[in-house]
Amino acid sequence: MRLNRNLLITLCLIISVIILLGCEENKEWKKAQQANTIESYQAYLKQFPSGKNSVKAKSAIENLEWEKAEQSKMLGDYLIFMKKYPKSPRYAQAKAEADKLMIPKGKDGRLMTLIPEGEFEMGCNEGHEDEKPVHKVFVKAFYIDIYEVTNADYKKFVDATNYKKPASWKEPTLSGADQPVVRVTWYDAQEYCKWAGKRLPTEAEWEKAARGGLVGKLYPWGDKLFHDYANYYGTGGKDFWEMPASVGSFDPNRYGLFDMAGNVQEWCADWYDAKYYSSSPNQNPTGPKSGTSVVVRGGSWGDDVQNTRDSGLRVAKRRFLDPYEADNYTGFRCVMDK
Ligand SMILES: [Ca+2]
């Protein structure tokens, strides 16, 4: 008799917990539906990954991500949609839209995308002195390489022009066909660009492109740095590399550009001047007339990120190098006028 009573109490308790959990799940699901945002459905799924509405939540997120891409028409949104939903009925449409936005251009035939003309906020008031003040800059439309220039791309240039080979080609860990070319000086990079019918980006073009249309963010994707987003010192998450990764190993930013943070830092066209922002023109700035060092941007696989302010991967972080320097951390990508 006593055993039966205890059993009954236990059963009642279990049923109560199940009912309570069910109520909680219904409440969270209603909350997710009312907000009807990607974040709200993600919050529901985090709490109830196998909940009774989990399939509906995943489908709602897919729909919202598609709407986001269709509204923005941005290459990065389409590319990320394709990567996340390879079996989606909308995949073919996403691919068709993305293909329209990636155009092979120049003698090297590399894929470029158009960065629309317009103003953006350059610099970072929380950064180092040379990043201040945040100021509005208008940049005319330009095409930019989706990927960093690879060893395979650079080989086409070397073969066509008999230009000297980078010393990195003797190193097995730096000479992969799809790895970004390194140990090229600023002058080497300029020669490649000239051959391809292109040029190096100005510092303003580079920063606008890296921001990917986001405003006031620290990185091309937002404000937090994880190994899932980029290749920098050490490994973790989706960063498996102690050396430069094959280009395009991480998600692109919303403009559809890969590796704007990490992997290799990139030569820009401008001479470096720490005080340049206080007197730079607000339309298509091209840097000081002369200097002794040149701007490099984006941080690299060698960046040991101890604190945010010093992180070379920040979109506003300014670095500089001797233009004759040819190190393991610096590569480039090209731009072209519209
Ligand atoms: Ca790494």
On whether both 33 and 129 belong to a single domain, the answer is no
On whether both 274 and 315 belong to a single domain, the answer is yes
Residue 70, number of CB atoms within 10 A of its CB: 15
Q: For residue 21, report the distance from its CA to the centre of ligand 1, in Å.
A: 42
Residue 68, number of CB atoms within 10 A of its CB: 16
Q: For residue 255, report the distance from its CA to the centre of ligand 1, in Å.
A: 23
On whether both 285 and 221 belong to a single domain, the answer is yes
Tokens of 116: 């629309």
Picking from 98, 114, 147, the residue at the C-terminal end of a domain is 98
CB-based neighbours (< 5 A) of ligand 1, an ion: 231, 239, 241
pLDDT at 5: 80
pLDDT at 9: 79
On whether both 214 and 255 belong to a single domain, the answer is yes
Q: For residue 146, report the distance from its CA to the centre of ligand 1, in Å.
A: 21
Picking from 98, 119, 142, the residue at the C-terminal end of a domain is 98
Picking from 46, 79, 98, the residue at the C-terminal end of a domain is 98
Helix (H, G, I), strand (E, B) or coil at 265: strand
pLDDT at 21: 67
On whether both 51 and 176 belong to a single domain, the answer is no
Element (H, E) at 135: strand 135-139
For residue 13, the one-letter residue type is L
Number of domains in the chain: 2
pLDDT at 11: 79
Say which CATH number the domain at 188 has.
3.90.1580.10
Q: For residue 105, report the distance from its CA to the centre of ligand 1, in Å.
A: 30
Spatial distance between the Cα atoms of 109 and 224, rounded to a whole number of angstroms: 34
On whether both 74 and 199 belong to a single domain, the answer is no
Tokens of 238: 């989706």
On whether both 76 and 121 belong to a single domain, the answer is no
Q: For residue 179, report the distance from its CA to the centre of ligand 1, in Å.
A: 13
Q: What is the pTM of this model?
A: 0.91
Q: For residue 250, report the distance from its CA to the centre of ligand 1, in Å.
A: 11
Q: For residue 256, report the distance from its CA to the centre of ligand 1, in Å.
A: 21
Q: For residue 263, report the distance from its CA to the centre of ligand 1, in Å.
A: 8
On whether both 273 and 157 belong to a single domain, the answer is yes
Q: Structural domain of residue 165, as residue ranges? A: 106-337
DSSP states along 220-246: TTBS---TTT---SS-BTTB--SSPPP
Angle at 106 between CA 100 and CA 111, to 5 degrees: 35
Q: For residue 189, report the distance from its CA to the centre of ligand 1, in Å.
A: 24
Distance of CA 233 to the CA centre of its chain: 17
Q: For residue 313, report the distance from its CA to the centre of ligand 1, in Å.
A: 12
Helix (H, G, I), strand (E, B) or coil at 120: strand
DSSP letter (8 states) at residue 150: B
On whether both 117 and 58 belong to a single domain, the answer is no
Q: For residue 171, report the distance from its CA to the centre of ligand 1, in Å.
A: 18
**133 upstream amide cis, omega within 30 of 0:** yes
Q: For residue 227, report the distance from its CA to the centre of ligand 1, in Å.
A: 7
Spatial distance between the Cα atoms of 305 and 313, rounded to a whole number of angstroms: 8
Spatial distance between the Cα atoms of 251 and 82, rounded to a whole number of angstroms: 11
Q: For residue 244, report the distance from its CA to the centre of ligand 1, in Å.
A: 8
Q: For residue 243, report the distance from its CA to the centre of ligand 1, in Å.
A: 7
Tokens of 177: 């066909």
Q: For residue 54, report the distance from its CA to the centre of ligand 1, in Å.
A: 34
Q: For residue 310, report the distance from its CA to the centre of ligand 1, in Å.
A: 17
pLDDT at 177: 98
Spatial distance between the Cα atoms of 136 and 284, rounded to a whole number of angstroms: 11
- Give the CA dihedral 83, 179, 205, 66, nearest 10 degrees: 0
On whether both 179 and 283 belong to a single domain, the answer is yes
Q: For residue 228, report the distance from its CA to the centre of ligand 1, in Å.
A: 10
On whether both 139 and 38 belong to a single domain, the answer is no
On whether both 292 and 322 belong to a single domain, the answer is yes
Spatial distance between the Cα atoms of 81 and 65, rounded to a whole number of angstroms: 7
Tell me the average confidence (pLDDT) per consecutive run of 10 residues in the chain, 338 residues long.
73 73 87 95 95 95 96 97 96 98 97 98 96 97 98 98 98 98 98 98 98 96 95 96 98 98 98 96 97 98 87 96 98 97
Q: For residue 239, report the distance from its CA to the centre of ligand 1, in Å.
A: 5
Q: For residue 35, report the distance from its CA to the centre of ligand 1, in Å.
A: 37
152 Cβ contact partners less than 8 Å away, ≥ 6 residues apart: 177, 178
